[in-house]
Amino acid sequence: MAPSRVDAIHTATYSSSKVQERVQTGDWRDDFFRDGFAVIKNVLPKDRAQQYRSDSLTWLESFGLGFDRNDKSTWKKENLPQNWKGGMYLHFSAAHEKYMWDIRCEPGVIKPFSELWETDELVVSFDTVNITLPQSIVGAYDSSPWPHVDQAPERRGLRCVQGIVNLSNSGPDDGGLVVMRKSSSLFNQFFDENPVTGPTPWRTAKHEDFHPFQQKDLDWYRAQGCELMKVCAEPGDLILWDSRQMHWAQFGESDLIRTIAYVTYTPAAWMSEEDRLSKKELFEHYETTTHWPHTNLFSHGKAMVTVDGVETPDPLERDEPITKPIKTEKLLKLAGALPY
C-alpha cells in the first residue's frame, strides 16, 4: 500500500534541528521553552507599528465597500470583503501587500527566529493580516472558541513556531491570542494517551498540521497543571508560540480594531528543493498559504461567492497586491524564490 501523507509525516526527516529545548539562554527563550509562548517587547518602534496598522486599514478601505476607519457608523461586517473568523483575509493577495513584506523583512521581527533556530538563513510563511472589527460595534461574531494546535499529532518535536506582530494593543479586554500555557511540552503525552481515532474530516492536505480539541481535552491539560491565559501585548511586540501549544483567538469586548500580522520563519535548510519551487510559484502568484514556511505549501485559492446557487469568483478578488513589494535579495530568499 502506498504511504499516506500521515505516514510521510511519520517518516519525514526533521532531525536537522539543533535546537535544545531545555537549555537556559537567559533571554526570551527561557520563557518560550517553559511556557510554550513568549512576548518579545518592542521588536518594532511604536510609530512604525502604528504606520503598518494604518497601511492595513488603508488596504481594507481600498475595497470601496464603505468601511472608513474614521467613521464608526461604517464599521459593519457587510462593509468588508470576505474573511475568515471575522478578520483573517486569506485572499485578495493580502499576504503580499508591500507593508506585509516590509514587516516580514524587519530585522527586529526576524532576529528572535534567528536566535531560536540558530541560523540567519530562514524562509517565511505567506501568512496574512488579521483586522477584526470590535464586537461591541459590529455585533457578536458567529464563532465559539476553537482550541487547536497547528501541528499534526504524528509530527513530533519542535518543528514550527508561529508569530504575531502586534500592530494594535492587546490588553485583557481586547481581542487577542489565548493559549493553554505549558501545553506544548505535553504534546506527545496527550496524543499517546488520547490517540486520534475515527473520522478526521479536518485533515485535508492544506490542514494536515492541525488538530482541534474538545472540552474534555482542555480538562486533561488543566489536570496536568496547564492554564488558559490571554496573551497581552502592545503595538510593536512580537508574540511567539510553539505550534504544539493549544491556542485560539479571542474576540474582545473593547471597541478597538484588532490588527496583527502573522509571521512564521523556519530554517531554509528544512525545505526541499521541490517545495522551494512550489513556494516560489505561490509567491509569484501572490498566494496566501498556511502558517508553515517550509512545508504545507498550499494556497488558500481565490475568493469565491455563490450566485444563484453557482459558485463563482468573488468580483472583489485580485491577482496582485495594490502596492507590490520591492523584491530585494533578502525578500526573495525569505520567500524561497531565491535559494541561499
Contacts with Fe ion, residue ranges (CB under 5 A) = 150
Taking the complex as a whole, how short is the minimal distance between the CB of residue 276 and Fe ion, in angstroms?
24
Q: By C-beta, is 55 or 150 nearer to Fe ion?
A: 150
Q: By C-beta, is 127 or 150 nearer to Fe ion?
A: 150
Taking the complex as a whole, how short is the minimal distance between the CB of residue 31 and Fe ion, in angstroms?
20
Cell triple for residue 170? 492587546
Q: By C-beta, is 207 or 279 nearer to Fe ion?
A: 207
Q: By C-beta, is 106 or 150 nearer to Fe ion?
A: 150
Q: By C-beta, is 102 or 208 nearer to Fe ion?
A: 208
Give residue number: closest CB to Fe ion. Answer: 150
Taking the complex as a whole, how short is the minimal distance between the CB of residue 148 and Fe ion, in angstroms?
6
Q: By C-beta, is 79 or 266 nearer to Fe ion?
A: 266
Taking the complex as a whole, how short is the minimal distance between the CB of residue 124 and Fe ion, in angstroms?
17
Taking the complex as a whole, how short is the minimal distance between the CB of residue 334 and Fe ion, in angstroms?
21
Taking the complex as a whole, how short is the minimal distance between the CB of residue 149 and Fe ion, in angstroms?
8
Q: By C-beta, is 75 or 298 nearer to Fe ion?
A: 298
Taking the complex as a whole, how short is the minimal distance between the CB of residue 291 and Fe ion, in angstroms?
7
